[in-house]
Amino acid sequence: MLVLETVLRIRREHAAGKAIKAIARDLKLSRKVVRKVIRAPEADFSYRREVQPLPRIGPFQERLDMLLDEDEARPRREKLRITRIHDLLLREGFEGSYDAVRRYAARWRQERRRNAVDAPAFIPLTFRPGEAYQFDWSHEDVEIAGKPMRVKVAHVRLCASRAIYVRAYPRETQEMVFDAHARAFAFFCRATIRMRQQRQSR
């Protein structure tokens, strides 16, 4: 897109009698673009490149896609910085700039997110009896023997029936997690096949 200063300069120089060919030569633009600026209404001109060439990235595009794809599969803490990806390409003969790789990676990730949004997703909302349960902690303020105190409460809920088992503990430790599970399964008279993950609500 042409900046406003360039558009105004083209119109000003044309109004002063300067030839289109001379304006195009001085500003390093095509005569077609200069004519379009002159003929367009005052506030209705924008120049967009219909095809974005990749003169440097072109031969390395497949390799760059592979690096970005591999990086996407890595855990968050192990992801590569774009500078590192650029360095890897330089070692393989790439002569383009860091900015070119950064812009390409930004477009690649934006396209990936757009496709991910369009992809169908399935979240099971029904469960067979004994298939799954949910576990979480909450903290509650209670009064015991006249003294206010905060206790940790373990919640175990069956996904199929929504039956719940609740037990309070003084602390939230691994031993108490095991105890809560053992007591809950004894209460329900059975263990479930799996635990359904859920967000912690503290």
Q: Tell me what pLDDT residue 14 has.
A: 87
Q: How many residues does the chain have?
A: 202
**CA dist., res. 154 & res. 202, Å (int):** 12
Q: Tell me what pLDDT residue 45 has.
A: 56
Closest by alpha carbon to 153, among 135, 144, 134, 166? Answer: 166
Asked whether residue 66 falls in the same domain as residue 112, the answer is: yes
Asked whether residue 141 falls in the same domain as residue 166, the answer is: yes
Print the domain residue range for 112.
58-118
Asked whether residue 67 falls in the same domain as residue 110, the answer is: yes
Over residues 105-115, mean pLDDT: 84
User: How many domains are there within the chain?
Assistant: 3
Nearest 5°: the CA angle 119, 101, 71 is 50
- Would you say 163 and 188 are in contact if contact means Cβ atoms under 8 Å apart? yes
**Of 89, 118, 147, which marks where a domain is finished?**
118
Over residues 132-145, mean pLDDT: 88
Checking if the pLDDT of 188 tops 80, the result is yes
Asked whether residue 102 falls in the same domain as residue 141, the answer is: no
Over residues 11-21, mean pLDDT: 89
Residue 95 lies in a domain: yes
Residue 78 lies in a domain: yes
**What is the share, in percent, of the chain residues with pLDDT greater than 70?**
82
Residue 53 lies in a domain: no
Nearest 5°: the CA angle 180, 186, 189 is 140
- Would you say 160 and 195 are in contact if contact means Cβ atoms under 8 Å apart? no
Asked whether residue 108 falls in the same domain as residue 141, the answer is: no
Asked whether residue 111 falls in the same domain as residue 74, the answer is: yes
Residue 125 lies in a domain: no
Residue 48 lies in a domain: no
Q: Tell me what pLDDT residue 153 has.
A: 93
Q: Which residue has the higher pLDDT, 7 or 202?
A: 7
Residue 162 lies in a domain: yes
